[in-house]
Amino acid sequence: MAPSVKMGENGKQGETGSDSDRLASPLPPLKVELSEDDLRESAYEILVAACGNNPITFRSTSMQKQDSKPSPPPPTNKSLTSSAASQMKRAFGLQSSGGSSEIQRASSFKSKKNSSISDTLRVQMRISENSETRIRRALSRAIAGQASKRSGSMIVPLELLQNIGASSFGNEGEYQSWLMRQLMTLEAGLLAHPLVPGEGGMDAHRLRQTLREMADGHKTVVQGKNSEIMQVLRSAAMSRATRAHNSEYGDFLHWADGYPLNAYLYVALLTACFDTVKVAEVIAEVDDVLEMIKKTWGVLGIDQTMHDMLLAWVYFRQFVTTGQTAVKLLQLCEIQLDEVANDLRGNLKNEQLPFLKSTLSTMQFWVERRLLAYHDSFPGGASDIMAGLLAVAVGCAQILQEHISREHRGRVKDEVNIPQSRVDVYVRSSVRTSFAQLMETVDTRRKSFKAATAPPPALAVLAQDTMAFAMSEVDNFSPVLKRWHPFAGGVAAATLHSCFSREFKQYLSKLSTMTLDTVAILKAADDLEKRLVAIAVEDGAECDDGGKALIREMPPFEADQVMGELTRKWVEDNVGKMTQWVDRNIQQEKWSPGANNEHYAPSGVEVLRFMEESLDAFFAMPAEQFPELLQQLVEGLDKALQRYVNQTVNPCGTKDDHIPSMPPLTRCKVHKSWLGSSKSKAKVEVQRNQQNRKTLPSSGDLTYSLPYMCVRINTLEHINSQLQFLEKRIRFGWKKDEPTPPSKIGRMFSKKKIAPPPVAEPADSSFQRTRAAIMEGTKQLTDSAAYRVVFSDLRDVFYEGLYAGDVSSARVSSVLEQLDGKLGEIAETSAESMRNRVAGALMRACFDCLLRVLLAGGPSRAFKEDDADLVKDDMYALKELFHADGDGLALSEVEQAMAPGAQVLTLFELSSSELIQIYLASMGQGSKTSSKLSVPPTTGKWSASDANTVLRVLCYRADDTASKFLKKTYHLKKASS
Q: What angle do CA 215, 219, 224 make, to 5 degrees?
A: 85
φ/ψ of 289, rounded to 5, equals: -60, -45
Q: Give Cα 456 distance to the centre of its chain.
A: 39
Extract the residue ranges of the chain whose pLDDT is less than 50: 1-17, 53-115, 148-151, 218-220, 407-408, 410, 412, 452, 672-682, 684, 686, 691-699, 737-761, 763, 977
Q: What angle do CA 593, 595, 599 make, to 5 degrees?
A: 45
Please give the pLDDT value at position 100: 31
Q: What angle do CA 266, 270, 271 make, to 5 degrees?
A: 120
Cis link prior to 260 (omega < 30° from 0)?
yes
Say if CB 43 and CB 265 are below 8 A apart: yes
Q: How far apart are CA 620 and CA 316, in angstroms?
A: 65
Q: How far apart are CA 819 and CA 797, in angstroms?
A: 11
What count of Cα atoms within 13 Å lies in the side-chain half-sphere of residue 786? 22
Residue 377: how many CB atoms within 10 A of its CB? 17
- Least Cα distance to 832 among 718, 929, 667 occurs for 718
What sections of 653-693 are H helices per DSSP?
674-691
Residue 200, C-beta contacts closer than 8 angstroms, at least 6 positions apart:
none
What count of Cα atoms within 13 Å lies in the side-chain half-sphere of residue 673? 4
What sections of 150-227 are H helices per DSSP?
156-163, 172-187, 202-216
Alpha carbon separation from 862 to 676, 913, 915, 961 (Å, rounded): 13, 17, 15, 14
Q: How far apart are CA 154 and CA 504, in angstroms?
A: 74
Residue 88 buriedness (CB in 10 A; 0-12 / 13-18 / 19+): buried
Mean pLDDT of the chain: 81
- Least Cα distance to 161 among 134, 185, 179 occurs for 179
Alpha carbon separation from 29 to 10, 13, 33, 261 (Å, rounded): 10, 14, 10, 9
Q: How far apart are CA 230 and CA 587, in angstroms?
A: 92
Q: How far apart are CA 846 and CA 882, in angstroms?
A: 10
Residue 901 buriedness (CB in 10 A; 0-12 / 13-18 / 19+): buried
- Least Cα distance to 423 among 341, 358, 356, 490 occurs for 490
φ/ψ of 248, rounded to 5, equals: -125, 135
- Least Cα distance to 288 among 103, 464, 470, 415 occurs for 103
Q: How far apart are CA 922 and CA 85, in angstroms?
A: 129
Q: How far apart are CA 340 and CA 312, in angstroms?
A: 9
**DSSP per-residue string spanning 318-330:** HHHHTTS--HHHH
- 3-class state of residue 957 by DSSP: strand
Q: How far apart are CA 164 and CA 171, in angstroms?
A: 14
- 3-class state of residue 891 by DSSP: helix
Please give the pLDDT value at position 609: 93
Residue 789, C-beta contacts closer than 8 angstroms, at least 6 positions apart:
706, 822, 842, 845
- 3-class state of residue 245 by DSSP: strand
Q: How far apart are CA 929 and CA 922, in angstroms?
A: 12
Whole-model pTM? 0.56
Rg for the chain, CA atoms, rounded: 51
Element (H, E) at 471: helix 458-476
Residue 275 buriedness (CB in 10 A; 0-12 / 13-18 / 19+): middle
Please give the pLDDT value at position 141: 87
Q: 595: phi > 0 → left, psi -120 to 50 → alpha, else beta; which?
A: alpha
φ/ψ of 258, rounded to 5, equals: -90, 145
Q: What angle do CA 107, 108, 111 make, to 5 degrees?
A: 55
- 3-class state of residue 453 by DSSP: coil
Q: How far apart are CA 40 and CA 44, in angstroms?
A: 6
- Least Cα distance to 781 among 694, 711, 725 occurs for 711
Q: How far apart are CA 469 and CA 463, in angstroms?
A: 10
Residue 865, C-beta contacts closer than 8 angstroms, at least 6 positions apart:
908, 909, 910, 911
Say if CB 404 and CB 356 are below 8 A apart: yes
- 3-class state of residue 323 by DSSP: coil
- Which residues, in sequence order, are bridge partners of residue 957? 863
Please give the pLDDT value at position 58: 30
- Least Cα distance to 264 among 41, 39, 46 occurs for 39
Residue 36, C-beta contacts closer than 8 angstroms, at least 6 positions apart:
10, 11, 12, 13, 268
Please give the pLDDT value at position 198: 74
Q: How far apart are CA 199 and CA 877, in angstroms?
A: 107
Residue type, 201: G
- Least Cα distance to 762 among 891, 626, 637 occurs for 626
Q: How far apart are CA 916 and CA 674, in angstroms?
A: 23
Residue 107, C-beta contacts closer than 8 angstroms, at least 6 positions apart:
284
Q: How far apart are CA 16 and CA 319, in angstroms?
A: 11
- Length of the chain, in residues: 977
Note the maximum CA span of the chain. Answer: 153
φ/ψ of 863, rounded to 5, equals: -125, 145
What sections of 923-959 are H helices per DSSP?
947-955
- Least Cα distance to 152 among 238, 266, 74 occurs for 238
